[in-house]
Structure formats: structure tokens, C-alpha cells
Amino acid sequence: ASDGCETEGQFYSVQVGDSTFTVLKRYQQLRAIGSGAQGIVCSAMDTVLGIPVAVKKLCRPFQNQTHAKRAYRELVLLKCVNHKNIIRLINVFTPQKSLEEFQDLFIDFLSPQDLKPSNIVVKSDCTLKILDFGLARTACTNFMMTPYVVTRYYRAPEVILGMKYKENVDLWSVGCIMAEMISHKILFPGKDYIDQWNKVIEVLGTPSLEFMNRLMETVRNYVMNKPQYPGVSFAELFPDWAFPSDSEHDKLKTGQARDLLSKMLVIDPECRISVEEALNHPYIHVWYDPAEADAPPPQISDKQLEEREHTIEQWKELIYEEVIDWEERNKNGLMKEDCSDVVSGSASQSSSANDISSMSTEHTLASDTDSSSIDTLTGPLDESQ
């Protein structure tokens, strides 16, 4: 911590793996629960609110413009989102006390679009939350044209191949996550983005000629020169023994689960199930709430969130202003009228901060998260590159 912070006595430092967390003293019992290219997340006990929370330290948020924009985007979106299955922002702070010193950003949220298991956390009572908005996009932007970044294993074919994409790009990721929950292993564990494509077609089969004709010429030539694969049936991929089978109802659900997987894990996005169709699928329709699904989107305070382009220093100043604004409006981490909502909302949850865990079956490495796609290659598209 800086000298100013040590004098004020508000912060203390604790080593978490290879990283030092310099956090407010209200956060105790820090324990690492996940890490990735964008940050490290710890469970902790918030001694002010008396509830378990998660504290995320953003890793080097100002190392380049991309990381700085992601940090700003995540902070702005978290401040305006309020949904039971999405993390709720409780506090934002930095141990540094001036813009010149500012380098560490901490985000505190209740129970911890880059969809992957390490960005989904679940408690022992099956309460689930989505976290990490650093790569999320607002609905008002040109979704079809935005560069999409996601951990390679869960990357949709249209992203791998450098195509335009739409909302159902996330259903591919959901399908990969669901498959991993059933089989307890990663479905498409590619070593790089070319190997990732190879893993996809070996399992799902070579896509149609109509799909290939929509690819850029260099990518199309590469894809069409690959061996033809028939694909593996979903009954073989997800056999009956992988599901509960104690009753006829279980057997019915097994068929429905397999059917949903077969409609999400479709290479061609034009043939893949839509978000609305997925919500109405019999396997999950029992949890579908029209009022929730059709609720108005949150109001984004920054109307130019996606269009903004700044230098690193300008992004740093914008983020610092957001932190200061939060501190001024929430002197104790939350407005007093919101504290009772948070505490009562967590009453049915475990009182232990250690009850929060990531769904990930494998550590996410920084090198696994990038914006590469096959179309970024130069020269011949072969396996040696």
C-alpha cells in the first residue's frame, strides 16, 4: 500500500498466490477461488455487512488500451446491472489515493460475456452467478461487427473463422459448458485456434458447403482442404449413463438435455437455436420467467461506452473518476438503503465465504484468452503456423 494508505490505516496487504491484495480491512479471510487473464478472484468475509463476498483484483488494467477499456467497461456495466443471476456490485476501491499513483483496481461483489466455466460460480445450494463483464457488450452496439474475445475452448466456430456473429454466439459457449458439466471434461480442448477448429469438426463433422461459401476465401480454402469428418452422434457423446436414470422422468430429461445440446452445438449459426428458442426448450422451460426475460435492459450511464477510444492515460483517468464517484456516493461500500437488501438477500445463502466456487474444471491460462482467429493468419493456412 502507499504511504498515505498506511497512515490512514484503512488497508492491509495479504499474499494470494503470486499476487498481493492490498484491501480494505473490512475484508477478511481472503482465499483464492479463481484466476484468469483479466484478474484474480478471492472469496472473503465482509465484516461491515456480515456476508460472504468475492473480491476481484484486475491484473494490470493499464498495461495497454485493450485491458484499460475492458476494465472501464466492466466497471460501468456492473454499476448498472441488478439481476439475481449476475454478480451485484458492492464496492469499488483502490489503495492508491491519487490519479498519479493509481495502478490497482479492486471490485467487490456479492457471490461471485465471455462465457466459460471459470466465469460462472455456483454455491452448494446450486445458486448460480455470472461474473466478469470485461468482455461484455451493450445491446445498443453493432453486435455483428464487434471483435469477440473468449477463452479458446468455448469459442464459437464463427469467431474462430473470423465471421460476423450475432446473439446466439453465446449459445455455443453455453453448450460447451453444459457438455463439460455432464462429461466432466472439456469438449473441444484445442491447443491453438487451428487445433480448436480441428477438434470441433472431428466431433461435430464437416460443415455444409453452404456454410463454407460464407467464409472468406483464404479461410474457405483452408477449411475445404481439411479431411471430411462424419461427426459423432450425440447419443455417443453423451450416453445415458452420464445422466441420472432413477425414474422415467429422469430418462425423459436425459433425452431433452441431449436434444438441447444438439441444437446449441451447431457449427452454422444460421442453423443453431436462438436465445428465445433455447429459453422455451422443454429441458429448461420450467425455469423460464417471461417477466424476467422480457424486462427492460439496464440503463447504461455512459451512452458512448462502446464507441470510446482513448489513450491508456485517458482510460486510467475515466476509471479513477468512476472509483471516486462510487466512493463519494457509497461511503461505506453501499448506500445505506441498499445494505438491508443485500444482507436479507444473502440470508438464505451460506454464511461461509468458502462456499463460493468456480465451475471451471481446468485453470484458465492467460495464453488461452485472446482474440485470434484463423483469418488472422498470413500466408498459407497450414498446421505448421
Pairing of strands 120-122, 39-46: unpaired
CB 280 within 8 A of CB 289: no
Only one residue has cell 424486462, namely 295
**What 3-state DSSP class applies to 67?**
helix
Q: What residues have CB less than 8 Å from 293, skipping those under 6 apart? A: 279
CA-wise closest residue to 234 among 175, 168, 189, 278: 175
The length of the chain in residues reads 385
Query: What is the rounded CA–CA span in Å between residue 69 and residue 62?
Result: 9
CB 131 within 8 A of CB 120: yes
CB 19 within 8 A of CB 68: no
Q: Which amino acid is present at 277? A: E
Beta strands in the chain (DSSP E): 11-16, 19-24, 27-35, 39-46, 51-58, 88-93, 106-110, 120-122, 128-130, 150-151, 357-358, 369-370
Query: What is the rounded CA–CA span in Å between residue 97 and residue 165?
Result: 42
Task: Identify the active-site residue in 114, 132, 170, 302.
Answer: 114
Q: What residues have CB less than 8 Å from 76, skipping those under 6 apart? A: 300, 301, 302, 305, 322
Q: Is 114 considered catalytic here?
A: yes
CB 116 within 8 A of CB 175: no
Catalytic annotation, residues? 114
